[in-house]
Structure formats: structure tokens, C-alpha cells
Amino acid sequence: MITESKAAGGGDRLLATPAVRLRNLSKTFGTTTVLHQLDLDIAAGETRGLVGENGSGKSTLIKILAGFHQPDHGAEIEIGETRLEGGLTPLLARELGLTFVHQDLALVTSLSVSDNMTMNALAASPSWRVSPKAELRATQTLLDSYELGVDARAAVSSLTQLQRAMVAIVRAIDGVKHSSSQGQSSLLVLDEPTVFLPKTDRTLLFDLARRHTNAGGCVLFVSHDLEECLEVTDTITVLRDGRLQGTLVSNDSDRADIIRMMVGKELNVVSHRRAVTPSGLATAATASTASAGSAPAAPDARPSALTVRELSDPAVHGISFDIAQGEVVGLTGLLGSGFEEVPYLVAGAGRGASGTIAVAGREFRARSLRPIDAIEAGIALIPGDRARQGSVSSLSVLDNISVQSLRANRRRFVIDWKGIRAASQQLITDYDVRPPKLDATYGTLSGGNQQKVMLAKWMQTGPKVVLLHEPTQGVDIGAREQIFDIVRAGADAGAGVLCASADQEQLALLCDRVLVMRDGSIVAELVGDDITKAAIASASLGSAPRSTDRSDSRKATRS
């Protein structure tokens, strides 16, 4: 372990005068201290990672740098040659070259790319005279200089998630050029902007950040993805319970080193996959290439929870599969393979779909299936973008967790709010939601706790089918294990679970079977011990090994 004071030993880059220097940084809310006398240096040209479990103080630190929170008395902040005894304001942070890209990217989707790129500068400009043509030309020139391939006239709503993230980062980098040109090394804070992106697309964003550090700026990269953090950073600072645990040199460290510092002990990663028994989790060969008309089989000894036949839309081409009661099935592939569309089609949220969907024997035509039909049939969808599609951030935890239970707690025209509140309190206790306060605003919770609220909302209904899209993105490793436990408990209660994810490690730990899609079709199936991160990656890329038929081994076991 390398402490912050020793981090300069990591190389010549870290011997430079710090571009950002924090001393004695503390923050107290009421009687709770969430940051304890934090000292931190970030050098010009450095990419610094910032990791920690939910509640470790990462968000508070970022909000202090952004001027949203003021630190406690005695804090010292140095940005370049500017020394502050106290805190920043949002305007001062911008003037000193601090800029931020958050998970939500802060783009107005109804406006054009050009409008989004220029609105901050226009807001800070003393002049109200604007030349739309000049702004459009300048924006297009800037986008072209980064080779983004984005039309400045396009509405942000028409862009892919990758393009939106790239626009947000370029906007942030461009916004601090003025500070850099005056000799001030600018700090670009990336607060998990890649969380909704497939790993294959993230390299392009990191290339943009690298251009920033090569020009003399520095980057603070906040992430729950420890492997990614090790790959793209020079050093990694670890927080736990609001205290600095130390700073590691990325090239000299591994994931286990970070986890030990984050949780204060060794954390054994446990597989949540059900062991393959003689009854089998698949009746077909594993890691096999599926024929166009065949459906990857559900367990041969348990009733079917979900049966999908010839499901199609523009991105999905006639796929068929079964999920048994109590089974967790993964669905994955590369970006554009179609796997991300499937949960929404099964939940009735897709348009123009064809094929059939059967839940516990009750069949629906995909074209006419509505979300309300899916819910009444026992389908629960936990979407990947929980903030926009699965919750109302401005409402309380109680409002979000109880919305699906209102009908069950209604007697004629009266809702039993007392009963709902008692049941909801028990849920957040059982699901370890922190803080365990029903009246807390949902949007103030960490990503992991928000996801636990979403799972509690649906699991209390006793769903027959649970559809998950990237269920652990943006959550820390401890919360991820809790979410795995919740999902497996739902399966043990009889639900069939479909987990659509690009996180290959997650699928290997959680799923009984994994279906791999390519070009809109299911092309491979992995079962049991054949589900490894390497095997999933290989199948996704089209280089999966030939399958080994398990039928003989099952017969041998039975005999």
C-alpha cells in the first residue's frame, strides 16, 4: 500500500507540483462526519482513480470540488497557484479550471448538440449577442477535431449513448481550455460517465481523457469498476468511511489490493450459480451454436416460467428460448447484437415486435403485449437506466417502493397507508437499504441502494418472471454481492430470471445458463462450469470453441 504522502514515488509525472492540493478536508452534516481530514494531491498530467464503497465519501468530495458543498472550517484547497482557505463556488470552480462529467451527462436531449456545447459559455458571457451560425461552425470544428463523427445540428436525443458521453466530455474539456491557456492545469472529473456504456465503447472515451492529460491537464476518475480503474489510471485513491486509506500506483496493484483497502479485509467472491445436478440445467450441448429454429432449452425437471418463440424487432431476429422456474439465465453479446432489447420486448415496452411470449403457460402476441399486460401476468422489469425508466428520483423511498403494492393494499376506495408503511419499512430492512429511512428522497441514495429499492419494489409482488438489464452497473462491490443474493432468492422462490448484461464477470458468477447473441440472433449457449468470463467473451466475438455434449455425462451420473 502506498499512502498519499508516498504517492510521488510512482514516477516522474507524480513528482510535479500538484495541480490540485487538498489539505484537512472534512465535511459534517449535523452530527455525522462524512469526510475526515482528507489530504490529496493530483499532479498535472496525472489520471487519478477514486474508489470506495457506497457511503465512503466519494460523492461528498466531488460536490466540495464542484462548489455544491462547503468543507468544514480549517480546510485548504489549492488549484494551481490559487490557494483558498475555505470552499469553492460553482463559478469559481469553473474559473479555476475544474469541470465535471457525471453519470447523467447533463445534456438537454431536446436541444441540438451545438446548443448543448455552447450553453455554459453563453451563460457565463457578459454579452447577450449570439451568432447561431458562428456557434454552429465553431461547434462542428471542435467535434471534427476530436473525430467524433457527430453532426452539430443533430438533436442530442438522436445520438447513441456513446456519442452523448463523448459530446459531454468534449464539452467539459473545451470549457476549461481558457484556464489551461493561462498556465492553470485544469482538472477533469469523470464521475462514472461510462456506467451505462458497454465496455467495448469505453476506450474511445478514455482516449479523449488521455488527450486532456497529454496537454497538461489532470483527470479524477470515479468508478466502481476496479479493473477498468486499474487499466486507465496512474494512481488510485481509496476511501473508506470518509477516511483516506491510501493511494496505490496502478501498475503495481491489482483488484485484490483495492478491495482489501475498500472493505478492510479480504473479500471472497462467491459464485451465486446453482450447481448442475443430474436433473440438468440444460438438455442441449453447452457452448453450442444454436440453429436458427431451435430454442435453448430450460431445465428438464422444472415447469417453464417464460417461453419466447420467434421474437423479432428491427434489432432482434426471430429468437426463441425458455427459462424454467428457479433458473437465472444470462443474455449477452456485443453492442448492437440485440441482447439489450430483449428484456424490454418481453415486458411489452418494445414497438413493432413479433413472435409470442408465454408466462407460466399464458401466451401473448409480442405485437399486442402492453406493459400493463406484462405486469398483470407476473413480469417484473428492472431497467438499466433506473433514474429515468424505473423510478422517480424526486419522490421518497416509500413512494417508489410501494407503487406496485397499492392495489393489493386497497379496500374499496381506501388505501391502507399504515400497512403499506409497515411493510415497506420491513422491506428496506430486509434489503439493507441505507439509510433505512422511508422518507428519504430516492435520488439522494447511492446507486446500490437505489437498485435495492427497485428490486424490493418488484420482488414483493411475487413475480413469475424477473427481467434485469445491467442490474449492478454503478454499484460498489459490496452492494453487487447483495444484489446477487436478492436475485438468487427471487429465483429460489420460483421466479424465472433473465439477466441481460455486458458484464461478463457478473454473468459468470450469477447465471445458470448464458445465451450469447450476435447480429440479432442467439448463436451460443453456455451452461454450468462452462460459464467463464473468457468463454463468454469468446462466444460474443464469434470465436467460441466447439461444444462438449453433456448428455453422456448426465447418463453416467444417473446410472
DSSP for 335-383, please give it: TTSSTTTHHHHHTT--SS-EEEEEETTEEEETTT--HHHHHHHTEEEE-
Alpha helices in 264-364 (DSSP H): 342-346
- Of 112-121, 266-275, 301-310, 348-357, least confident by mean pLDDT is 266-275
Give which of 485, 395, 498, 391 is closest to 447, Cα–Cα. 391
pLDDT band at 266, cuts 50/70/90?
low
Specify the 3-state DSSP secondary structure of 9: helix
Q: Would you say 284 and 548 are in contact if contact means Cβ atoms under 8 Å apart?
A: no
Q: Which residues contact 194 (CB under 8 A, 6 or more apart)?
A: 165, 202, 205, 223, 225, 228
Give which of 354, 316, 327 is closest to 517, Cα–Cα. 316
Q: Does 350 have pLDDT greater than 50? A: yes
- Top pLDDT among 550 and 463 is at 463
pLDDT band at 31, cuts 50/70/90?
confident
Q: List, in order of start, the domains of the chain with CATH numbers.
A: 18-263 (3.40.50.300), 278-378+462-558 (3.40.50.300), 392-461 (no CATH)
CA–CA separation, 435 and 433 (whole Å): 6
Q: Give the E-state strand segments of 122-184 in sequence order.
A: none
What is the pLDDT, as a whole number, of residue 408?
81
Q: What is the mean pLDDT of residues 80-109?
A: 89
Q: What is the mean pLDDT of residues 257-281?
A: 63
Q: Does 226 have pLDDT greater than 70? A: yes
Instruction: For 492-512, write each residue's pLDDT tens digit.
Output: 999 999 999 988 889 999 999
Q: Does 465 have pLDDT greater than 70? A: yes
Specify the 3-state DSSP secondary structure of 385: coil
The DSSP element (H or E) to which 32 belongs, if any, is strand 32-43
Instruction: For 528-544, write each residue's pLDDT tens digit.
Output: 889 998 899 889 877 64
State the chain's mean pLDDT as an integer: 84
Q: Could you tell me the CA-to-CA distances from 35 to 58, 84, 199, 436 in Å, in that order?
A: 9, 18, 31, 21
What is the pLDDT, as a whole number, of residue 284?
30
What is the pLDDT, as a whole number, of residue 51?
94
CA–CA separation, 445 and 441 (whole Å): 7
pLDDT band at 71, cuts 50/70/90?
very high
DSSP per-residue string spanning 184-210:
PPPEEEEESTTTTS-HHHHHHHHHHHH
Instruction: For 180-191, write each residue's pLDDT tens digit.
Output: 444 457 899 999
Q: Could you tell me the CA-to-CA distances from 32 to 27, 40, 65, 91, 386 in Å, in that order?
A: 9, 22, 20, 28, 28
Instruction: For 319-346, write each residue's pLDDT tens digit.
Output: 999 999 999 999 999 877 899 999 999 9
Alpha helices in 215-310 (DSSP H): 226-232, 255-263
- Longest CA–CA separation in the chain, Å: 85
What is the pLDDT, as a whole number, of residue 126?
64
Specify the 3-state DSSP secondary structure of 159: coil
Q: What is the mean pLDDT of residues 272-301?
A: 45
pLDDT band at 273, cuts 50/70/90?
low
- Of 112-116, 118-122, 225-229, least confident by mean pLDDT is 118-122
What is the pLDDT, as a whole number, of residue 120?
72
Q: Which residues contact 137 (CB under 8 A, 6 or more apart)?
A: none
Cell 376506495 maps to which residue?
413
What is the pLDDT, as a whole number, of residue 124?
61
According to DSSP, the residues that pair with 359 across neighbouring strands are 306, 362
Sheet of 187-191: strands edge to edge?
98-101, 187-191, 218-222, 47-51, 235-240, 243-249
What is the pLDDT, as a whole number, of residue 409?
81
CA–CA separation, 126 and 191 (whole Å): 30
DSSP per-residue string spanning 461-526:
T--SEEEEESTTTT--HHHHHHHHHHHHHHHHTT-EEEEE-S-HHHHHHH-SEEEEEETTEEEEEE
CA–CA separation, 247 and 9 (whole Å): 11
Give which of 141, 123, 25 is closest to 77, Cα–Cα. 25
Give which of 247, 185, 174 is closest to 219, Cα–Cα. 185
Number of Cα atoms under 13 Å in the Cβ half of residue 552: 2
pLDDT band at 268, cuts 50/70/90?
low
What is the percentage of the chain residues whose pLDDT exceeds 70? 83
Q: Would you say 159 and 165 are in contact if contact means Cβ atoms under 8 Å apart?
A: no
pTM: 0.68
Provide the grid cell at 234: 496512474
What is the pLDDT, as a whole number, of residue 298?
55
pLDDT band at 12, cuts 50/70/90?
very low
Helices 161-175, 132-145: crossing angle, 10 deg rounding: 100
What is the pLDDT, as a whole number, of residue 552?
34
CA–CA separation, 225 and 504 (whole Å): 13
Q: Would you say 262 and 254 are in contact if contact means Cβ atoms under 8 Å apart?
A: no
Q: Does 8 have pLDDT greater than 50? A: no
Q: Does 177 have pLDDT greater than 80? A: no
CA–CA separation, 332 and 433 (whole Å): 29
Q: Does 297 have pLDDT greater than 60? A: no
Q: What is the mean pLDDT of residues 96-123?
A: 87
Q: What is the mean pLDDT of residues 410-429?
A: 91
Q: What is the mean pLDDT of residues 379-396?
A: 92
What is the pLDDT, as a whole number, of residue 143?
94
Q: Which residues contact 455 (CB under 8 A, 6 or more apart)?
A: 382, 431, 471, 483, 486, 487, 490
DSSP per-residue string spanning 510-523:
H-SEEEEEETTEEE
Q: Does 152 have pLDDT greater than 60? A: yes
- Top pLDDT among 556 and 423 is at 423
pLDDT band at 129, cuts 50/70/90?
confident
What is the pLDDT, as a whole number, of residue 181?
45
Q: Does 402 have pLDDT greater than 90? A: yes
